[in-house]
């Protein structure tokens, strides 16, 4: 028997049929209107009904960018979509007559890694999803840690720097402001102001200085540009620091780095590993959890949500 996994992002929705082995048997995606919960639900219902013509769908798992309640149905709020205490799971379940569970998207992606990807051999794992923001998933003793109210795993909002960069959440110095694609973009633009000559190489990837983005930096770094390497290395420094704080608290066997920015690969991962070691409590007196890149690039949310739908 199979499930459907759905991944709702700020601009598009992806849905796919997930096998018990974590394979994506078929998938589809479409742009969405983040301002209308109904349009989102209509799209999901129609996609699931479509899959149901071919597959025996047992349940639906939805990965949502937002704060999902302990009931695994209600989205308390989301930065990019117009949900506010919205009973997303219940609505979909009623319309589809199927069990539906909703999970935070970073949690879903982490679960996919844990079950079928980089973490499939371990029982305690942390995943850091470095995309526009910084999401997290925590697996303790084979179980996803959801927290008392469903809000666990918000590692991007650990405080990393007193009086540090303003975060969209209204606080200063959240880790997300140092270890994310947004951080990389902002660091690059800032450096472009203070040292434009040094940034010449990176700038060529953006074409126009006002369009400079994180991916220009990672690309420049991959091509060996000095400024690009320095900026990505600095991002890695913060990823490693964050990983070290998480390891102090959770002592995982493995730390999986995912999200779009993780595709930079070793230019990011090497400095992250070094910083992780440098900042890890009791480093020489403990087994060192490896930092590895995630197995799934974009499908983790769907696969994880689909698999979680099958569990209580």
According to CB under 8 A, which residues from 168 to 197 bind a copy of itself?
Answer: 168-174, 178, 186, 190-197
| 26/251 with CB nearer a copy of itself | 251
Contacts of residues 143-152 at CB distance under 8 Å and 24 or more positions apart, as own/partner, are 144/103, 144/107, 144/110, 144/111, 144/114, 144/308, 146/70, 146/72, 146/107, 147/70, 148/70, 149/69, 149/70, 150/67, 150/68, 150/69, 150/70, 150/71, 150/72, 150/76, 150/104, 151/67, 151/68, 151/76
The answer to whether residue 143 forms part of the interface with a copy of itself (CB under 8 A) is yes
Please, what is the minimum distance in Å from the beta carbon of residue 27 to a copy of itself? 31
Contacts of 225 (CB under 8 A, 6+ apart): 201, 202
Could you tell me the two tokens for 221? Answer: 């770094």
Question: How far apart, in whole angstroms, are the C-alpha atoms of residue 5 and residue 103?
Answer: 11
Residues 194-233 that bind a copy of itself (CB under 8 A): 194-197
The answer to whether residue 76 forms part of the interface with a copy of itself (CB under 8 A) is yes
| 95/186 with CB nearer a copy of itself | 186
| 136/258 with CB nearer a copy of itself | 136
The answer to whether residue 282 forms part of the interface with a copy of itself (CB under 8 A) is yes
The answer to whether residue 162 forms part of the interface with a copy of itself (CB under 8 A) is yes
The answer to whether residue 82 forms part of the interface with a copy of itself (CB under 8 A) is no
Among 21, 208, 287, 312, binds a copy of itself (CB under 8 A): 287
Q: How many CB atoms lie within 10 A of CB 136?
A: 25
Among 26, 223, 251, 270, binds a copy of itself (CB under 8 A): 251
Please, what is the minimum distance in Å from the beta carbon of residue 56 to a copy of itself? 31
Contacts of 53 (CB under 8 A, 6+ apart): none
Please, what is the minimum distance in Å from the beta carbon of residue 198 to a copy of itself? 9
Contact stretch for a copy of itself (CB under 8 A) within 204-212, 257-265, 272-280, 292-300: 272-280
Helix (H, G, I), strand (E, B) or coil at 82: coil
The answer to whether residue 157 forms part of the interface with a copy of itself (CB under 8 A) is yes
The answer to whether residue 97 forms part of the interface with a copy of itself (CB under 8 A) is no
| 27/245 with CB nearer a copy of itself | 245
| 239/303 with CB nearer a copy of itself | 239
CA distances 247 to 15, 54, 112, 168, 307, Å, are 33, 44, 21, 26, 26
| 25/161 with CB nearer a copy of itself | 161
Is residue 117 a contact partner of residue 294, using CB atoms and an 8 Å limit? yes
């Amino acid at each position: 028997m199979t499930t459907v996994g759905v991944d709702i992002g700020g601009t598009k929705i992806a849905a796919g049929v997930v096998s018990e082995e974590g394979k994506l048997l078929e998938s589809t995606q479409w742009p969405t209107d983040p301002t209308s919960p109904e349009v989102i639900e209509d799209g999901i219902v129609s996609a699931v009904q479509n899959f149901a013509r071919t597959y025996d769908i047992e349940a639906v798992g939805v990965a949502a960018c937002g704060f999902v309640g302990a009931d695994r149905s209600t989205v308390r709020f989301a930065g990019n979509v117009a949900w506010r205490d919205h009973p997303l799971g219940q609505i979909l379940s009623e319309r589809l007559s199927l069990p539906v569970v909703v999970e935070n998207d970073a949690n879903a992606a982490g679960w996919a890694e844990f079950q079928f990807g980089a973490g499939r051999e371990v029982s305690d794992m942390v995943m850091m999803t470095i995309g526009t923001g910084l999401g997290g998933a925590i697996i303790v003793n084979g179980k996803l840690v959801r927290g008392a109210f469903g809000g666990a795993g918000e590692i991007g909002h650990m405080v990393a720097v007193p009086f540090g960069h303003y975060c969209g959440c209204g606080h200063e110095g959240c880790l997300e402001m140092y270890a994310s694609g947004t951080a990389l973009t902002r660091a690059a633009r800032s450096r472009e102001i203070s040292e434009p000559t040094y940034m010449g190489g990176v700038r060529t990837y953006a074409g126009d200085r006002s369009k400079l983005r994180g991916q220009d930096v990672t690309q420049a770094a991959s091509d060996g540009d000095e400024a690009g390497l320095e900026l990505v290395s600095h991002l890695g420094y913060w990823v490693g620091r964050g990983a070290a704080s998480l390891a102090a608290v959770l002592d995982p066997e493995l730390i999986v780095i995912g999200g779009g920015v993780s595709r930079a690969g070793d230019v990011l991962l090497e400095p992250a590993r070094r910083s992780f070691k440098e900042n890890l409590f009791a480093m020489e007196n403990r087994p060192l959890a490896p930092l590895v890149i995630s197995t799934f690039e974009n499908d983790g949310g769907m696969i994880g949500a689909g698999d979680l739908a099958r569990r209580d």
